[in-house]
């Protein structure tokens, strides 16, 4: 857990860049990302160097050659501001854009691949030197600290991105990951990657629950680092930030690619993944011409939220599962496309759960009402009962401030009840969670809104009879008349 002291140091770094003329939060994070990557490379090289010295042999796969020694963080941090600025801008920065590539420009890490369009924007030698000193003062020997530090920086993004993008709160991500319980055999995908929050949380879950399996041998480690995590985005900045987020959380080379998920028909991704975790952007409508034709065959619509649902069904393996966030309109929309996608989930697949979330969950980015859908792709039906949960609190205030309120959270109860669904059959429709049989959902035109099935008990209020009320009114009128006469007497 990141401490208050480290938060204060990050805040000071942020203020230094802000006062230096970089005011866009995403640009600040991007520039700090580059420096963290350079620092991380030096840490890795140092570990290899120490190992080689112990074994008295040459460094195995060194990151820096002897001629590139001056590009190492531990070297240039000791130089003057002007010399440091020249080294980083003209040498270290171009180096990280091509690291691991062959002479023809092929190969390299996921991160270096997304660096090719990056721009170094540190305004002055003084600002760069100041930032390097401040970053160097933060002890990041622990990988958890590096990851938490980066998460804290990402949390400082104070406005929604373009195309309806906004960060999913970390505690909501963790809930969805815990409910789907990833395993080392899973191929996990987020087709709307953003800052890679879902993939990072999945990696942390695997570290916590399956560390023996993912580190048992070289093959297992390679699978974890290169074949478990997959993500797409069409924002180059987000790809760089997401790649760095994964690297700082211990995933060295995930499959993160530039791709417009809704407009590109990629047959290689059909039925490729066993777990989908996503909160895709809901930008409204797309043109038919720009939408992948195979998605239109699943559901004929221009609505991005419905097209993403079609995408999830296409790229999931049979038996694969998904936990995705959708706007409330997906649950009860009356158009043919809305009803069609819900019917697909209920009739052709196995719809497991609908968790209704309060509208304040995404503030200050947005006040939209949303829900979490959990389903399993079967292509042969299987929906028996659907579990509904009415989340009222998530541990934070539901206003723009989002003040922590740890004593007000339904999340532990959601996870507890999800793991014991058999006991939910006895729950009444007035409770916070309950099961609804498929037949009832079908009878309601596949409406999945919680209010359609939840029963609200109104408290009985006893009112006085009209005769008593009139008697009280008459008494009040007499008192008013008496008071008026007393005032008139005083005035005379």
**pLDDT tens across 300-323, in order?**
888 888 999 999 999 999 999 999
Whole-number pLDDT of residue 429: 92
The whole-number pLDDT of residue 104 equals 47
Q: Over pLDDT 70: what percentage of the chain?
A: 91
Q: What's residue 412's pLDDT? A: 96
Sorting pLDDT into bands at 50, 70 and 90, what band is 394?
very high
CA angle 256, 262, 267 (to 5 degrees): 70
Whole-number mean pLDDT of the chain? 87
pLDDT bracket for residue 247 (50, 70, 90): confident
d(CA 139, CA 438): 54
**In the prediction, which pLDDT does 266 show?**
65
For 68-110, what is each residue's pLDDT tens digit? 999 999 999 999 999 999 999 999 999 888 776 544 445 556 7
Q: How confident is the model at residue 286 (pLDDT cuts 50, 70, 90)?
A: low
Please determine, for residue 163, whether its predicted confidence score (pLDDT) is greater than 50. Answer: no
Please give the average per-residue pLDDT across 37-65, as a whole number. Answer: 89
Residue 365, pLDDT above cutoff 90: no
Point out the least confidently predicted range of 118-127, 253-262, 452-461. Answer: 452-461
Residue 159 predicted with pLDDT over 50: no
| Domains, the chain, ordered by start | 4-147 (1.20.1260), 160-452 (3.40.50.150)
Say how far residue 311 (Cα) sits from the centre of its chain. Answer: 18
Closest CA to 232 of 287, 329, 285, 308: 308
Q: What is the mean pLDDT of residues 213-223?
A: 91
- 365 vs 201, residue with greater confidence: 201
Which stretch of 203-212, 235-244, 426-435 has the lowest confidence by average pLDDT? 235-244
Q: Residues 261-266: what's their mean pLDDT?
A: 71
From 397, 373, 392, 385, select the one nearest 176 (Cα to Cα).
Answer: 373
**At residue 160, does pLDDT exceed 60?**
no
Q: What pLDDT is recorded for position 264?
A: 66
CA–CA distance, 274 with 170 (Å, rounded to integer): 22
CA distance 82 to 69: 18
Contacts of 217-224 with C-beta under 8 Å, sequence gap 24+, read 220/184, 223/184, 224/184, 224/251
DSSP 459: P
């Amino acid at each position: 857990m990141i401490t208050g002291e480290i938060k204060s140091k990050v805040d000071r770094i942020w203020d230094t860049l802000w006062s230096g003329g970089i005011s866009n939060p995403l640009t600040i994070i991007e520039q700090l990302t580059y420096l963290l990557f350079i620092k991380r490379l030096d840490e890795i090289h140092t570990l290899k160097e120490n190992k080689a010295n112990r074994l008295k042999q040459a460094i195995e796969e060194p990151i820096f050659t002897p001629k590139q020694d001056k590009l190492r963080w531990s070297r240039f941090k000791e130089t003057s501001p002007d010399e440091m600025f020249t080294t980083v801008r003209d040498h270290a920065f171009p180096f990280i854009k091509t690291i691991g590539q062959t002479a023809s420009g092929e190969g390299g890490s996921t991160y270096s691949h997304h660096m090719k369009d990056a721009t170094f924007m540190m305004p002055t030698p003084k600002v760069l030197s100041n930032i390097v000193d401040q970053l160097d003062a933060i002890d990041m020997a622990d990988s958890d600290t590096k990851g938490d530090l980066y998460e804290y920086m990402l949390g400082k993004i104070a406005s929604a991105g373009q195309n309806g993008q906004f960060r999913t709160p970390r505690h909501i991500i963790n809930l969805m990951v815990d409910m789907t319980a990833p395993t080392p055999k899973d191929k996990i995908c987020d087709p709307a990657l953003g800052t890679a929050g879902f993939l990072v949380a999945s990696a942390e879950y695997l570290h916590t629950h399956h560390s023996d399996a993912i580190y048992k041998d070289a093959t297992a480690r390679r699978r974890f680092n290169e074949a478990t995590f997959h993500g797409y985005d069409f924002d180059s900045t987000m790809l760089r930030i997401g790649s760095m987020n994964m690297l700082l959380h211990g995933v060295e080379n995930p499959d993160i690619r530039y791709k417009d998920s809704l407009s590109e028909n990629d047959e290689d991704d059909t039925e490729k993944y066993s777990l989908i975790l996503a909160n895709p952007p809901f930008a409204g409508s797309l043109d038919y011409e720009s939408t992948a034709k195979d998605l239109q065959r699943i559901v004929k619509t221009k609505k991005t939220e419905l097209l993403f649902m079609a995408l999830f069904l296409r790229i999931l393996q049979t038996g694969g599962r998904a936990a995705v966030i959708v706007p409330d309109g997906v649950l009860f929309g009356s158009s043919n496309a809305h009803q069609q996608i819900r019917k697909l989930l209920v009739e052709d697949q196995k719809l497991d759960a609908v968790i209704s979330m309060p509208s304040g969950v995404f503030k200050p980015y947005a006040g939209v009402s949303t829900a979490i859908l959990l389903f399993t792709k079967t292509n042969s039906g299987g929906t028996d009962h659907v579990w509904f949960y009415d989340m009222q609190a998530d541990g934070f205030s539901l206003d723009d401030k989002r003040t922590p309120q740890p004593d007000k959270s339904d999340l532990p109860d959601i996870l507890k009840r999800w793991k014991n669904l058999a006991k939910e059959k006895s729950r009444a429709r007035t409770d916070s969670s309950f099961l609804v049989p498929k037949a009832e959902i079908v009878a309601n035109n596949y409406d999945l809104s919680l209010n359609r099935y939840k029963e609200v008990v109104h408290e009985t209020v006893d009112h006085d009879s009209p005769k008593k009320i009139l008697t009280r009114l008459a008494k009040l009128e007499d008192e008013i008349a008496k008071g008026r006469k007393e005032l008139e007497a005083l005035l005379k």
